[in-house]
Every structure is written in structure tokens, then in C-alpha cells.
Structure 1
Amino acid sequence: MFAISLGDGAELRPFEPWQAADLLALCDRSREYAGAWVPLTVLAEDLESARRILQTYADKQAADTGRLYGIRQDGALVGGVLFRIFDVPNETCEVGIWLEPSAAGRGLARRASRAVIDWAVYERGMHRVEWLVSSRNTPSIRVAKNLGMTKDGVLRESFPWQGIRHDMEVWSVLAPEWKAAREAEQDAR
């Protein structure tokens, strides 16, 4: 199985249906921390539902409409990053991420997101990468800002989740902006 290094012992690996027990254990560890924002962490409530989620993403990957990767730190599964939407004809995609509490604050969300955005822009030719986030989720908004994304607007009360109608902020980065920022980073080194 392949892995993409994120540095400092962290890596991305594909998540597949046979890893349902791993997904369920990760969701159990991260549900309280991320469940207010990440439905997947709540919807994986037993082995069968975890397997269904992973099969959904396996089907999306086969259809080239989405992907899901596990984030590992020193071999331990600590989070996930995904393309919830991967729209090749329109050259747009949406990235999402979650971590268990023990992995927060180490830059893993930024590094994992950066890796998948690099792939989407450079390898797959995506023009627009979106990040949808509840206005209440300040850590995720901070990651969007750290990635150099621009806040496009707010979809007011557009996401009903767990009895709350969330305002969803739409953040994005366009391929020319992403490439210019990455080139500037390289030049600064």
C-alpha cells in the first residue's frame, strides 16, 4: 500500500472498506471532539456503518468523484482527509478533514490538506478547491486561512446538524493562486 509522507512521522494512506474497524475506532476517539462538525464521525456508529462509509468512498474513488485517506502519526491512525466532492468535468472539489483530539495542534490538518490539494491541482488539474465549514468551527477556519484560502461567503443556516442549523462558510483557493503561493514558498527556501 502506498503512503504519502507529511513529515515528522506523519503520512497519508488510502482508507478502504476492509479497514472498517480502524475507522470505527478513530470515530469513537474523535466523535466528541469533531462530531459537532464532521457527520462521518457520528454516522460511523458500528462496524457495519463504518464499512458502508468506506464502501461509499471506495465507490466514489472508482467513479472519480471522491476519495478518503487516513492520517497516521508514527503508524497510529489519528484522522482523515477526504474529497467529499471531486467534480472532474467542472474542475472543482471540496476538501474536508478531521482529527482525534490527541493529534490536534500539530499542523497535521494543514499538512494533510496541503498534500491532497497539491495532488488535486497539479496532478488532476482542479481549478477550484473548496472548504465548507461551520462558522462555529474556528479551528477549521484557521486551517483554511493557513492554506491561503479566501472566504467566498456564508450560506446562512444551510446545514442542519444535530439540532442546530449551521451557517456554512465557503472558503476556496483557485489553481493559479495555489501555484503562485507554492512557488513563493519554494523561492523563500
Structure 2
Amino acid sequence: MNSFPTLSTERLQLRELTANDAPALFAIYRDAEAMPWFGIDPMTDLSQAHALITTFAQWRTQANPGTRWGLEHDGRLIGTCGLFKWNRHWNSCALACELAPSARGNGLMSEALRSVLDWGFAQMHLHRVEALVHPQNRPSQALLERLGFTREGVLREAGFWAGCYQDLQVFSRLSHEH
């Protein structure tokens, strides 16, 4: 993938994550109440946030690359979102996101994902974008449905975190629905 694709919306700057974002990212990922929805265990150390930023940067160099944007609102990082596991032969990828508790409920993630989906369908020539969501994560399910995603079914025990296997619901959006 070429240079990092910075995107702008009415209220957000979607940009590459840097080491300076680690404290804000750590604050989001250490939130034990939200972690069941993120598919990982809560972070316990700032070094884990630095490692995650490195991982997101490495996505762009993988055989099935991805892009993870930092969401900046009023000069501060409030979350991330991204397209990853890009299968160029199938023109498909996965979508993931998270938002700081203080930024939820204001339509910011919807605004960010609309921009990311527009970019993905246009620049990556995607046919299909899918998202996996925990069955009890009602806010994320509602967000995806507002964005035009269709609920397809359940992947039984497809995830593993918090010491046990987790079911995940599959949602998708196709290019002709965009």
C-alpha cells in the first residue's frame, strides 16, 4: 500500500496513529467494561498500546494488508477504525472500530465509518466488507445496520477472550448496496 490515506469528515480527522497516541489508546483499551466487545482482554500496561500502534502500522505491509485510522476530534484521539484482511482476489475485507466512552452517542463513529467505507469501496475496489460483533453488543449491531450492513448469521465460538470462546455475529455490506 502507498502512503497513509488521511481522511477528513465534518468533525473528524482520520489519520495515521503515532507513538504520541499511546496514552489515549491505552485509556480506551484498558476499559474492562468495553473489552468484551473489542475481542481482546483489557490492556494493563502502556507498552501494550505502543505495541498495538506498531501492529496497526505493520498491517499495511502484510500480504493481505489493512489500514487502521486514528480518529481525532477537537485535537485528541477518541478511537480508531479500520479495514483489514484485504483479500484482493475476492475484493473483500473486514471492518473494526472502537471509541472512547466519552465520545460515544454523538454519531462520531458513524461519521468515521461512512468515510472509511467510501474510501474502501472507491480506492480498494471492494465488493464486500464484513464485521464481526459479539451477540450482546447491541450498540455496534445498531450502528452497522444504520450503515446499511446486513446481519448474516452467527459464527459459533469463533473468538476467544476473557478465558472462553465467544460467538460472533457476521454483518456485511456489498458494493452494490453502497
TM-score range normalised by the length of the shorter chain: 0.7 to 0.9
Q: Distance in 2 between matches of 1:118 and 1:44?
A: 35
1:14 aligns with 2:22: no
Q: 1:40 to 1:167 in 2, by over 3 A?
A: closer
% same residue: 32
Deviates more, 1:72-81 or 1:38-47: 38-47
Aligned amino acid, residue 8 of structure 2: S
Q: 1:55 to 1:38 in 2, by over 3 A?
A: same
| Richer in helix (by share) | 1
- SS of the aligned residue for 2:121 comes to helix
Q: Distance in 2 between matches of 1:176 and 1:111?
A: 20
- Aligned twin of 2:157: 157
Aligned residues, how many? Answer: 173
- Aligned twin of 1:54: 53
Aligned amino acid, residue 6 of structure 1: T
- Whether the 8 Å CA contact 1:27–1:42 is kept in 2: the answer is no
**Superimposed CA distance per residue, residues 137-181 of structure 1 (whole angstroms, 9 cap, x where no aligned partner):** 111101110111111111122212113432200000110111xxx
CA RMSD of aligned residues (A): 2.1
Q: Distance in 1 between matches of 2:79 and 2:168?
A: 22
Q: Distance in 1 between matches of 2:119 and 2:16?
A: 14
Q: Distance in 2 between matches of 1:26 and 1:40?
A: 14
- Aligned twin of 1:169: 169
Q: Distance in 1 between matches of 2:124 and 2:170?
A: 22
Q: Which has the higher contact order (CA 8 A, sep 6+)?
A: 2
Where does structure 2 lack aligned partners over 5 or more consecutive residues? Answer: none
- Aligned twin of 1:139: 139
Q: Distance in 1 between matches of 2:110 and 2:52?
A: 24
Aligned amino acid, residue 55 of structure 1: T
1:108 aligns with 2:121: no
- Whether the 8 Å CA contact 2:41–2:161 is kept in 1: the answer is no
Q: Distance in 2 between matches of 1:102 and 1:140?
A: 16
Q: 1:41 to 1:162 in 2, by over 3 A?
A: closer
1:26 aligns with 2:25: yes
- Whether the 8 Å CA contact 1:3–1:12 is kept in 2: the answer is yes
Q: Distance in 1 between matches of 2:5 and 2:150?
A: 32
- Whether the 8 Å CA contact 2:66–2:85 is kept in 1: the answer is yes
- Aligned twin of 1:185: none
Task: Give how far 1:44 is off.
Answer: 7.1
1:96 aligns with 2:99: no
Aligned amino acid, residue 14 of structure 2: L
